[in-house]
Amino acid sequence: MTAQAEPKAQPTGTFRTLRRGLALSPELRAGLAGTVALALVSMVGRAAVPVAIQQGIDKGLSVAGGPDMAVILRIVAITVGILAITTTCGYFMMRRLFTVSETALANLRVRAFRHIHDLSMLHQQSERRGTLVSRVTSDIDTITQFLQWGGVILLVNGGQLVVTTIVMSVYSWKLTLVVLAAFLPAVVVIRAFQKRLGGAYAESRRRIGVMLGAVSESVVGASVIRAYGISERSGAKLSETIDDYQRAQRRAMRLSVTSFSTGEIAAALALSAVVVVGTLLGVDGQISLGELTAYLFLVTLFIQPVQIATEVLNELQNATAGWSRVLDVLQLQPDVADPAHNGVDLPEGPLDVRFDQVSFAYPAGEPGKTGPRVLHEVHLDIPAKTRVAVVGETGSGKTTFAKLLTRLMDPTDGAVHLSGTPLTSVRFGSLRSRVVMVPQDGFLFDASIADNVRFARPDLTDEQLTAAFAELGLLDWVQGLTNGLDTQVGERGEALSVGERQLVALVRAYVADPDLLVLDEATSAVDPATEVRLQRTLDAVTRGRTTVAIAHRLSTAQAADEVIVVDRGVVVQRGPHDELVTHPDSIYAKLYASWLEQTR
Amino acid sequence: MTTDEPAEAAKPQVTGRDVLARGARVMWRGIRDEPRRFTIAVVGSCLFGSLVIGQAFVVGEIIEDVVEPALAPGGSVTARALVLSAVALIAMGLGRVLGIFGRRLGAGFMQFALQARYRHEVTGRYLRLPLSWHQRHATGTLLSNANSDVEAAWMPVAPLPFAVGTVFMLIVAVTALFLVDWAMALVGLVVFPVLFVMNVVFSRRMAPRTARAQHLRAEVSAIAHESFDGALVVKTMGREDLETRRFEARAQELRDALVSVGRLRGLFDPLMESLPFLGTLAALVVGAWRLQAGAIDLGQLIQVTFLFTVLAFPVRAIGWVLGDLPRAVAGWDRVERVLQATGEMPYGTGGATGTGPAQLSFQQVHFGYDTGQPVLHNVSFTIPAGRTVALVGPTGSGKSTIATLATRLLDPQHGTVALDGVDVRELSAAALASTVALVPQIAFVFDDTVRGNVALDRPGTDDDRVWQSLTTAQADTFVTRLPEGLDTALGERGTSLSGGQRQRVTLARALAGQPRLLILDDATSAVDPRVEARILASLRGASHAASILVVAYRRATIALADEVIYVEQGRVVAHGTHDELLSTVTGYADLVTAYEKAEAERERDTGYDSDDAASVREEEVAA
Ligand SMILES: Nc1ncnc2c1ncn2[C@@H]1O[C@H](COP(=O)(O)OP(=O)(O)OP(=O)(O)O)[C@@H](O)[C@H]1O
Ligand SMILES: Nc1ncnc2c1ncn2[C@@H]1O[C@H](COP(=O)(O)OP(=O)(O)OP(=O)(O)O)[C@@H](O)[C@H]1O
Ligand SMILES: [Mg+2]
Ligand SMILES: [Mg+2]
């Protein structure tokens, strides 16, 4: 399929990503000036040592009458003092950096998480769950890792580069020009590699997502895999994604090493150029021995950051690849957007429904393209307080209808109105509290039954909770469980039987107390006796609200005020059950005949 | 989660004391797994290290032999000497590049290979471990075991060869120092061990913090996974805020843990930085003293101080390894828990138990998912070969559990499940899979094409067979309409299909294997009555007859069965034909006639209603 098409990894530049990232996490800039200042001061320590050696050689060692220990000791003492100060500054710098960056990243994590929930259902489904999870976990971890490790080093070394360049220029601006000239080609080469490298890392991040998707599938589908004895097949598919990821990692690594080894060559060039030019300058009397020696030390200090870059820029690329994936998600506009404060609230009281020439087609393939229409110009009114059943063949568009009704998706054409208000202009806060759907595949959280019901209304007291079960006639059932309401339901509810899961999902929707309740096969796995009982109690307690129930079991249709028959995306019949069955040869009459055949 | 395992896992196990030894063991394991790449990396690293030291000496020599004479009053320099110096330095640079390639590619590839190897192993375990194990572990946690824990375990591998090379370099350096002067060498002998000890102290203090962070990482991942899994419920109930708060609570804990890791690092890193500088200064003082004593000359002093400067950075590589060890241990522990997980359900060696329809029997089977909470009590029944048996019972009575035991996804605590009289525990995986096919109550569709989902690459499942199964499952019409037919990818868990379509694909999957025993666990619930009727009809007429165990409520389905087993609360209450049970078992009668009764009642009600309406009208007329 189609919707599965991964959003293309954007091989955007490192700096663009960093800029984007900083714009979206302004917290990162908090106190940045102070941190940078501390970093610069902590750098002074490094530059202090070569200076001390130069001073020592020129003033303490090369003096007439042999080394002067007093001078040497004084110089060393001063340098140790400077080191003590700069080390302390280094500590505070790192503390600030970690605190600020971790705070910012935690916020980013939470924002990305929230944003993923705000995306439309179809957007969410267009990515594998593993990929979504990686956006708020391992992608962000790469940034953390980088900041904790490389970020500091990069910052510190950036400082080191600046400070040493300044000190070097003080000793000899001519030699400094020579050094910079030696590094120029390397800079050009590294820059040229950056784009490819960025692409390689982006690809490798993408591969992780695919890999996690495969792992997730083999874990969730464990029982099917085992039942069909296809663990080798699944294993092979999994292995492929693991190996693909490894290949992507290697490619990035090869590029990175090649690119940055140019730095090492530049370092050798710089050092030899300094020796040659320095000596010539010295012969010319422009530089002293001590100065030249100090300069050679300084060149090493200048080179070091470049060497370190070979270790760190690697991580930077990885981090920006991760970062840009998080940012991509954050910048994806929800296509079913909450009008928020521009929106209106639904009018008080029971809701009526109006589908106005609604058509729908699911997206297919590339963004913007759609597949065939699955609903065709559906035009209907459901008066307030009626109980409507929607029936039709598999794949006829019933669930699609329900998703449009609850605004999980927006129609391709036409509009849905609730009590005269276009759905698109209703605030989500109002919509979600007044309109609740029990989806076809009821999902429970890994918590107790009570917690799952409270998901809909966290303020529910124990008494209210028990009352809700009692009202639906399910109290006996839940009290019959070993731990009653405290029974843990397991992941996705898998420690309950499928029918039991549906019961919990139903109670959860019931306590949400909606004015429009949409049930998509909400009791398809519940045994007939329980279903019939439930139906009756539900009818009683939901009287006064509008309910739309999708069901294959026509008992639901019989009990409804009105039946809507959908066939291949078109509403072909509607009316009360008793009336519909009187049309021989109609789709409904056939469905009903078959139902009778099956239940008698 | 009903077991105590996660609770136990919640306590980070790594203590500071043994973390280094355990970390070393993890690294050793990595080296043993990847000896070739490790060797390449270490050789590269040593080459690099030697050249770094060599450079210090070469620079010292150049200063002494070329620069100093040249800069001496009235001194001069030959072009040849200068060119020679330059060439020497550049050649050493090229050598270093070679070393870097060896070290970085060796180390990187080693790290990636180890990650991949253990990902293979961990996911291989996932595929082999039984359902009962999976039921006790959250998907999110398992995801993080395969991803971030494996990554953490091999994190120190990247700088490891560098560190090993550095150790080598230090030995060379100290030896070289001794060659220069013993007093200068002593400075090195003091500084380097102190560096090492500091690193050790650091990683010990670090261990519990990183373990905690790693643990929280897994929790954050588990919450995210569950929450995205249930995204539809979150959305339809508008609980995004609630979920975000739940996630945020853990994310903030993780943040705190990471900040505490960072603070320690912040304390340690600057110290580690400064120490080599102090060494350089000490070398200057000692050197001055030795110079005064005439034991060394100026060139040697410069050499030594230069050496300390260039060593300052590589020495930190040791720190990186040691610094990452605690996290590696934490990650490895979590990986190992999966690798060493027991409770594997070994398959037997028995081959196929026969040809034609299989016989299934349960003998005094007792089963509970959790000890102390039995779900099935003394369940015994037999499905004779070639028969169709309906399994009927109220919600939660244990039907799916029976189906699960029959396919040997779980083993009973007592009693036996047998196919053709052979205990299923004695059958090989292949024999089981080719004999029994289960269509589970919840359709699971793989992220694959229609063909892949139905055929599952099993022998004999060619396109003809696939189409045939799709036709029987009444899935051919919609598959034909899919854009790429059999090659249409269905998306993760089949999102692009309707509920009933998913069910039919899984039904076709079971049929394609031509099983000898077919178990349908309420597998047509989302299928319209008309379609179900057609499916059942074609199943009956199938050329490859199979014994069928069908969990069902619909009368038509039950009517197809030769026999009915009625279960209630995990016990077989009755066993017989539909008519027998209908007249003797009230529970059964209530269940299967529920719709009829409901309709009758409804008609009565509406009858009253219209009577009421009629009387109202009469009154009106009267009035
Ligand atoms: N996410 C999706 N992407 C693409 N096509 C989809 C998607 N969801 C559903 N469809 C297609 O739209 C059509 C209508 O599906 P829908 O889920 O509305 O059917 P339904 O009437 O609810 O069927 P069922 O009774 O099986 O639940 C089907 O042909 C289905 O394959
Ligand atoms: N993984 C599990 N862990 C713990 N208890 C479980 C688990 N799965 C099922 N149960 C419990 O075992 C009992 C039987 O469940 P089972 O799924 O077999 O019922 P069922 O007859 O298939 O019901 P349904 O008709 O609703 O599918 C139920 O009470 C259920 O809560
Ligand atoms: Mg549906
Ligand atoms: Mg079941």
**How far, CA to CA in Å, does A151 sit from each of A21, A97, A98, A319, B543?**
14, 9, 10, 10, 68
Which of 1.10.1760.20, 3.40.50.1100, 3.40.50.300, 3.10.20.30 is the CATH number of B360-592? 3.40.50.300
Q: What CA–CA distance (Å, rounded) separates B20 from B26? A: 10
CA A22 to mean position of chain CA atoms: 17
- What are the tens digits of pLDDT across the range A116-128? 999 988 888 887 7
Å from CA of B375 to ligand 2 middle: 8
Which residues of chain A have a CB within 8 Å of the CB of B310? 300
Q: What is the DSSP string of B252-296?
A: HHHHHHHHHHHHHHHHHHHHHHHHHHHHHHHHHHHHHHHHHHTSS
Q: What CA–CA distance (Å, rounded) separates A352 from A381? A: 8
Of the segments A264-278, B98-112, B318-332, B531-545, which one has the largest average pLDDT value? Answer: B98-112
How confident is the model over B66-78, as a mean pLDDT?
Answer: 77
pLDDT band at A395 (very low <50, low <70, confident <90, very high): confident
**Looking at residue B530, what is its pLDDT?**
63
Q: What CA–CA distance (Å, rounded) separates B66 from A276? A: 10
User: Do A315 and A249 form a contact (C-beta atoms < 8 A)?
Assistant: no
Helices (H), A387-457: 398-405, 428-434, 449-454
Which residue, judged by its Cα, is nearest atom 25 of ligand 1? Answer: A394
For residue A6, pLDDT beyond 50: no
Q: What CA–CA distance (Å, rounded) separates B299 from B285? A: 15
User: Do A288 and B71 form a contact (C-beta atoms < 8 A)?
Assistant: yes
Strand order in the sheet with A570-575: A435-438, A516-520, A546-550, A387-392, A562-567, A570-575
Tokens of A282: 């010295």
How confident is the model over B297-305, as a mean pLDDT?
Answer: 79
3-state secondary structure of A509: helix
User: Between A and B, how many CB-CB pairs are < 8 A?
Assistant: 568
List the domain boundaries for chain A. 14-171+323-335, 173-286, 353-599
Residue A551: phi and psi, rounded to 5, are -155, 145
Q: What CA–CA distance (Å, rounded) separates A393 from B528? A: 6
Q: What CA–CA distance (Å, rounded) separates B15 from B9? A: 14
Q: How many CA atoms lie within 13 A of B463 on its CB side?
A: 5
CATH of domain B5-9+12-339: 1.20.1560.10
Q: What CA–CA distance (Å, rounded) separates A363 from A370? A: 4
Non-local CB neighbours of B413 within 8 Å, separated by 6+ positions: B366, B367, B368
Which residues of chain A have a CB within 8 Å of the CB of B55? 271
Q: Report DSSP state, residue B426.
A: G
For residue A102, pLDDT beyond 70: yes
Tokens of A317: 């690329």
Which residues of chain B have a CB within 8 Å of the CB of A405? none
Q: What CA–CA distance (Å, rounded) separates A104 from A123? A: 26
**How far, CA to CA in Å, does B539 sit from each of A100, A328, B385, B463, B518?**
65, 49, 16, 19, 10
Better-scored residue on pLDDT, B453 or B3? B453
Task: Specify the pairing of strand B360-370 against strand B373-383.
Answer: antiparallel
What class has domain A14-171+323-335? mainly alpha
Q: Report DSSP state, residue A408.
A: S
Q: Report DSSP state, residue B140.
A: H
DSSP H/E element including A580: helix A577-580
**Global confidence as pTM:** 0.84
User: Do B301 and B285 form a contact (C-beta atoms < 8 A)?
Assistant: no
Residue A90 to residue B369, Cβ atoms within 8 A = no
**Looking at residue A149, what is its pLDDT?**
67
Non-local CB neighbours of B267 within 8 Å, separated by 6+ positions: A91
A553 touches chain B (CB under 8 A): yes
Q: Report DSSP state, residue A96.
A: H
Tokens of B416: 């036996």
DSSP H/E element including B463: helix B463-472
Sequence letter at residue A270: A
- What are the tens digits of pLDDT across the range A42-87? 777 777 887 888 788 778 777 777 778 888 889 889 989 998 998 8
User: Do B283 and B183 form a contact (C-beta atoms < 8 A)?
Assistant: no
The complex's ipTM? 0.85
User: Do A93 and A35 form a contact (C-beta atoms < 8 A)?
Assistant: yes
**Domain covering A353-599: architecture:** 3-Layer(aba) Sandwich (3.40)
Q: What CA–CA distance (Å, rounded) separates B441 from A523? A: 13
- What are the tens digits of pLDDT across the range A291-326? 887 788 778 777 777 666 666 666 777 788 888 888
User: Do B374 and B368 form a contact (C-beta atoms < 8 A)?
Assistant: yes
Which ligand 2 atom is the nearest neighbour of the CA of B401? 18
Non-local CB neighbours of B295 within 8 Å, separated by 6+ positions: B181, B183
Q: Identify which of A496, A504, A524, A527 to mutate to test ligand 2's pocket (most ligand atoms within 8 A of the CB).
A: A496
**Looking at residue A231, what is its pLDDT?**
85
Q: What CA–CA distance (Å, rounded) separates A231 from A222? A: 9
Q: Is the C-alpha dihedral spanning A532, B230, A362, A342 positive or negative? A: positive
Burial of A385: CB neighbours in 10 Å, binned 0-12, 13-18, 19+: middle
Q: What CA–CA distance (Å, rounded) separates B585 from B360? A: 24
Tokens of B429: 């995986």
What is chain B's mean pLDDT, rounded? 83
| A:210-269 residues touching chain B, CB 8 A cutoff | 211-231, 233-235, 238-239, 242-243, 245-246, 249-250, 253-254, 256-257, 261, 264-265, 267-269
